[in-house]
Amino acid sequence: MGGLSVRDAVVRYDGEGGTTAVAGVDLDVADGEILALLGPSGCGKSSLLRAVAGLEPLTAGTIAFDGEDLAGVPVHRRGFGLLFQDGQLFAHRDVARNVAYGLEVARVPRAERAARVHELLDAVGLAGYGARSVSTLSGGERQRVALARALAPRPRLLLLDEPFSALDRALRERLAVDVRDVLRATGTTAVFVTHDHDEAFTVADRTGVMQAGRLLQVAPPEELWRAPASREVAQFLGYQAFVPLGTRAGGWLAVGPTGLRVLSDARSTPQQPGSDDSGRVWEARVVESAFRRGRAQVIVVVDLGSGDQRLVAQVEDAAAPAPGAAVKVTLDESSCAVVGG
Ligand code: ADP
């Protein structure tokens, strides 16, 4: 089978007590696929990526590419490209010679090198920057150069470790879209490590959610959102509360970031409260009004069945109710998901 194949991978660090950073992971990345590894800081994403790169030895398990076991294959023989948070450009080389670096190492002839550098700078939106000194570049431009440099030798797999985490949010969002476009246009197979789910979903075809060294679920974004495999996954994706389903099988209705809604007229009783949770109504108290991404929101204190919680609720009226107001809230079914116990 083509692409990356990780089986039962374990990465353990010695030292006091020892840390198992990767605790038995299976993962396949198909040829041309972009996969994101998503999870909180310390869950083992980088350790897994570094093991794939050959920078960290596996304690157990195997990593293969295109069917070849990579045990014993050193970093520079794997044919992989690497991009880290700090692209670590060569300060004494101009932009073009930074991008050309891997091509020089591979002894690509000069004319071919120049054409490839030109093509790559164009692809990352830096056409005409070749002669610039890297010291004149912004943080975002530096990472674009680092991406072009990593892609220039046509790596069979590109490994990206939090490549935008040093940049501000707006820039990160734009770069995520651009990186996705460049990876798609070049047909690059890639593994992209991030702790930001928006970023993962923007860049990747499939996302693997990691926690405490384990891969909890790997799926395309729509599927992760629609059917998180567990409360842990849902929580990490930003589902903000869990309403017990009350069925014999157990399980929960996970309330998404926009899954709670203030009833527009607090005096009305809309649907009859019934077994369907989307028709249920709870009394809540507003503690804060906010305006986010062009929409009015409130933070309410409400008991959905597991005690008082502070949750975000969407407001459809132009004006949000003021702090202190008593309101009624209901669930927006399209922003909720059923998860197992
Ligand atoms: P993430 O990339 O998800 O933030 P890491 O793979 O960096 O997670 O770290 C996973 C765990 O391994 C953490 O507990 C971290 O402290 C530990 N760890 C990472 N690198 C080393 C190392 N070189 N030596 C010892 N422990 C490490």
Task: Render pLDDT for 80-129 as a digit per residue (tens, 0 to 9).
Answer: 999 998 878 999 999 999 999 999 999 999 999 999 999 999 999 999 99
Q: CA-CA distance, 123 to 148, in Å (whole number)? A: 8
| pLDDT computed for residue 42 by the predictor | 95
For the chain, give the mean pLDDT: 91
Q: Is the CB of 321 under 6 A from ligand 1?
A: no
Residue 277's SS3 state is helix
CA of 49 to the centre of ligand 1 (A): 11
Share of the chain above pLDDT 90, in %: 77
pLDDT band at 266 (very low <50, low <70, confident <90, very high): very low
Residues 6 or more apart from 2 whose CB is under 8 A from it?
30, 31, 66, 67
pTM of the entire predicted model: 0.88
Model confidence at 1: pLDDT above 70: no
Q: How far apart are CA 193 and CA 159, in angstroms?
A: 8
Give me the pLDDT at residue 246, please. 76
Give mean pLDDT, residues 208-218: 96
pLDDT of 293 > 80? The answer is no
Share of the chain above pLDDT 70, in %: 94
In the reported structure, the alpha carbon of residue 73 is separated from the centroid of ligand 1 by a whole-number distance in angstroms of 23
Least trusted range by pLDDT, from 201-205, 302-306, 319-323: 319-323
Amino acid 296: pLDDT = 83
Kindly tell me the sign of the dihedral angle through the C-alpha atoms of 158, 162, 168, 173.
positive
Give the pLDDT mean for 255-271: 75
* 47 C-beta closer than 6 A to ligand 1: yes
State which amino acid sits at residue 134: V
Q: Which atom of ligand 1 has the smallest separation from the CA of 162?
A: 2
194 ligand 1 Cβ < 6 A: no
Q: What is the mean pLDDT of residues 179-189?
A: 93
Q: Ligand 1 pocket, 21 CB below 6 A?
A: yes
Ligand 1 mean position to 21 CA, how many Å?
A: 6
Distance (Å, rounded) from C-alpha 286 to C-alpha 290? 11
**Average of pLDDT values for 312-319?**
85
pLDDT at 124: 92
Query: Is the CB of residue 209 below 6 angstroms from any atom belonging to ligand 1?
Result: no
Average pLDDT on 130-141 reads 94
State whether the beta carbon of 291 lies less than 6 angstroms from ligand 1: no
Give the list of residues 6+ apart from residue 73 with CB closer than 8 angstroms, or none: 54
Q: With a cut of 80, say whether residue 267 has pLDDT above it.
A: no
pLDDT tens by residue, 49-92 = 999 999 999 999 999 999 999 999 999 999 999 999 887 899 99
The residues, any chain, with a CB within 8 Å of residue 109's CB and separated by 6 or more, are none
Token pair for residue 145?
A: 């150069």
Pocket test for ligand 1, best of 19, 25, 159, 194 (most atoms within 8 A of CB): 19
Residue 16 CA, ligand 1 centroid: distance in Å: 14
Asked if pLDDT for residue 290 goes beyond 90, the answer is no
User: How many CA atoms lie within 13 Å of 32's alpha carbon, on the beta-carbon side?
Assistant: 4
Q: Which atom of ligand 1 is nearest to the CA of 193?
A: 2
The backbone torsions φ and ψ at residue 2, rounded to the nearest 5 degrees and listed phi first, read: -80, 160
| pLDDT at 278 exceeding the cut of 80 | no
Residue-wise over 27-64: b if at least 16 C-beta within 10 A, else e? bebeeebbbbbbbeeebbbbbbbbbbbbebebbebebb
State whether the beta carbon of 186 lies less than 6 angstroms from ligand 1: no
Q: How confident is the model at residue 16, as a pLDDT?
A: 80
- What is the pLDDT at residue 295? 77
| Identity of residue 38 | L
